[in-house]
Chains A and B, each alone.
Chain A
Amino acid sequence: MKRDEPIGEDLLAVAADVLHREIVPTLTGDERLSVLMAVNAIETARRELENAPLLEKMEHTALSEIAGGGDSRGLCRAIRNGKFDMGDKAVALHGALLEHAVLRCRISNPKYLDAAEKDWESRLLL
């Protein structure tokens, strides 16, 4: 069924934008900080809604293809028990975990991710 429009992601985008452009400039001190944090929370929620299908797909792929089925708890147990210490399994799992973490970061803190990726890329080139 078609979602009601504007969809949730768009409501949040507009709300965050209005708060940031119209309200924040009128505030100072603690109030300004509070509203900036609120904008942060709203934008995070928006990015989360936008990326929810992709996140789920990634997790499903990692668990079924790389972890050999089972659930997240099973995967954690297997990691702790040394099943992913070496070889192709380790490389595949680490790759999937990193890709997943990158997407989660893009949702929770894109500014952080941009600076971090730049930094890590330059280190790996040295």
Chain B
Amino acid sequence: MELDSPEAIDRIASWLTSEFKADRIEVVQLEKLSGGAIQENWALQLDIKGGEREGGLDAVLRTDSPSGLAVSHSRAQEYELLSAAFENGVTVPEPLACCRKLSVIGKEFAIMRRMPGIGLGPKVARDPSLGGDREILAERLGQELAKIHQIGPETHQFDFLEPANTYDSLESFYRFLDDLDEPRSALEWGLRWLELNRLPKEKPVLAHHDFRTGNYMVDEKGLTCILDWEFAGWAEPHEDIGWFTAMCWRFGNRDLPAGGIGSREAFYRGYEHQSGRKIDHRRVYFWEIFAHIRWAVIAIQQGKRFRDDNEATLDIVLTGRRPAEIEYEILRMTMPGTGLVAAKH
């Protein structure tokens, strides 16, 4: 059923009434905020009568897109991860409820508190009036990432995650490359170079796996929340750090390594202070190269989608052409006869 049909709205209100132990709930507004290939976010404004949550509530309802590509975690699994992050003090939208029953709207959905701010990557990178002082923001983001990394397999169990001791990022990338079924010599070169320069594995932590500019929101004062937990999983902490500082995620601000918005020093300071550990600069270099390989594979997969129904958009076809610049950076970073260096630029 259409999410904003009277029937669906009724069912959601009904389900939430019992979830929140209220007397009655009125859906003041249900409006689509954004939608991707995998999930949709709807603004959900509620007026709650009775119970602990009595009053107005500005929330977001998150559910699957109609196409429902199962390439990331389910909404319920994502909710579990979000809840763990929230409990650990990470700045995320407060998780409020999660419906695992398909009987309400035909698919799982999660409700979280609506947070203010702008999340669009290019906009945040380009507009210095957003996010307050950028160095303070960079430091804060480092601190937040360190808090995420404080969640570990010793204290948390997520039965849907690939086990911490078996997951290997390089190995899975050889699989992804094979699945692409097209020869990519630059990516093969990059993966081989990484293989030759592997370091002993770090203890796995909960990695966000898409921690970058574009996946956090800011208002004019600073950070409002970190988003998109659909790819989180057990991995080495430096993998997340390298994804954040990778050149391909700086939105053209080549001299601002912290997500295209700030300095490495500020970002590292926030991370090191919160975690009590020093960042290994050579490991960051390793994972920045990996980040480029990963993003190239994703861009190639995106590009192939243009032949599917309703997917021939300019966004998709232009994303499909990004690998040239990404592979360029990989090749520049992996000169023959060189090894890992401290990530500096």
Binding site for B on A (CB under 8 A): 34, 37-38, 40-41, 44, 71-73, 75-76, 79-80, 82, 84-86, 90-91, 93-94, 97-98, 101-102, 104-105, 107-109, 112-113, 115-116, 119-120, 123
Known: A82-B192, A115-B254; 6 extra A-B contacts, CB below 8 A, are: A37-B314, A72-B185, A80-B174, A101-B327, A116-B254, A119-B254
Partner among B314, B324, B336 whose Cβ is within 8 Å of the Cβ of A91: B336
Residue contact A101 to B318, C-beta cutoff 8 Å: no
Judge if B47 is at the interface, Cβ distance under 8 Å. no
What would be 9 A-B contacts, judged by CB atoms less than 8 Å apart? A73-B183, A75-B183, A79-B192, A80-B188, A85-B196, A101-B324, A104-B327, A108-B324, A109-B325
Known: A107-B324, A115-B252, A119-B254. A98 touches B315 (CB 8 A): no
Name the interface size band of chain B.
20 to 34
Closest to A79 in B: B188
Task: Tell me the smallest distance from the CB of A69 to a CB of chain B, in Å.
Answer: 15
The 10 closest A-B CB pairs, nearest first, are A72-B183, A90-B336, A104-B324, A37-B314, A79-B188, A101-B328, A108-B324, A108-B321, A76-B183, A98-B331
Residue contact B345 to A123, C-beta cutoff 8 Å: yes
Judge if B126 is at the interface, Cβ distance under 8 Å. no
Q: Which of B324, B329, B334, B335 has the most CB of A within 10 A?
A: B324
Task: Tell me the smallest distance from the CB of A75 to a CB of chain B, in Å.
Answer: 5
Residue contact A76 to B184, C-beta cutoff 8 Å: yes
Interface of B is mostly: helix
Contact with A along B190-216 (1 / 0, CB 8 A): 011000100000000000000000000
Chain A residues contacting B189 (CB-CB under 8 Å) are 79, 84, 93-94, 97
Q: Which of B189, B328, B329 has the most CB of A within 10 A?
A: B328
Task: Tell me the smallest distance from the CB of A81 to a CB of chain B, in Å.
Answer: 9
Chain B residues contacting A119 (CB-CB under 8 Å) are 254, 345
Judge if B332 is at the interface, Cβ distance under 8 Å. yes
Known: A41-B314, A75-B183, A105-B325. A98 touches B332 (CB 8 A): yes
Closest to B196 in A: A85
Chain B residues contacting A104 (CB-CB under 8 Å) are 324, 327-328
Interface of A is mostly: helix
Residue pairs across A and B with CB atoms within 8 Å: the count is: 91
Task: Tell me the smallest distance from the CB of A124 to a CB of chain B, in Å.
Answer: 9
**How long is the Cα–Cα vector from A82 to B191 in the complex, in angstroms?**
11
Task: Tell me the smallest distance from the CB of A97 to a CB of chain B, in Å.
Answer: 5
Judge if B186 is at the interface, Cβ distance under 8 Å. yes
**How long is the Cα–Cα vector from A98 to B334 in the complex, in angstroms?**
10
**How long is the Cα–Cα vector from A108 to B326 in the complex, in angstroms?**
11
Residue contact A80 to B321, C-beta cutoff 8 Å: no
Chain B residues contacting A113 (CB-CB under 8 Å) are 325, 328
**How long is the Cα–Cα vector from A44 to B303 in the complex, in angstroms?**
15
Residue contact B325 to A120, C-beta cutoff 8 Å: no
Residue contact B315 to A116, C-beta cutoff 8 Å: no
Task: Tell me the smallest distance from the CB of B44 to a CB of chain A, in Å.
Answer: 24
**How long is the Cα–Cα vector from A79 to B327 in the complex, in angstroms?**
15
**How long is the Cα–Cα vector from A34 to B337 in the complex, in angstroms?**
44
Residue contact B337 to A97, C-beta cutoff 8 Å: no
Closest to B333 in A: A120
B23-47 with Cβ < 8 A to chain A: none
Judge if B317 is at the interface, Cβ distance under 8 Å. yes
Q: Which of B183, B317, B336 has the most CB of A within 10 A?
A: B336
**How long is the Cα–Cα vector from A79 to B331 in the complex, in angstroms?**
14
Chain B residues contacting A112 (CB-CB under 8 Å) are 252, 325
**How long is the Cα–Cα vector from A38 to B313 in the complex, in angstroms?**
10
Known: A40-B318, A72-B185. A102 touches B328 (CB 8 A): yes
Residue contact B327 to A44, C-beta cutoff 8 Å: no
Closest to B192 in A: A79
Residue contact A98 to B336, C-beta cutoff 8 Å: no
Task: Tell me the smallest distance from the CB of B99 to a CB of chain A, in Å.
Answer: 33
Chain A residues contacting B191 (CB-CB under 8 Å) are 80
Known: A85-B196, A116-B328. A37 touches B318 (CB 8 A): yes
**How long is the Cα–Cα vector from A102 to B185 in the complex, in angstroms?**
14
Chain B residues contacting A90 (CB-CB under 8 Å) are 336-337
Closest to A38 in B: B314
Contact with A along B207-249 (1 / 0, CB 8 A): 0000000000000000000000000000000000000000000
Task: Tell me the smallest distance from the CB of B312 to a CB of chain A, in Å.
Answer: 11
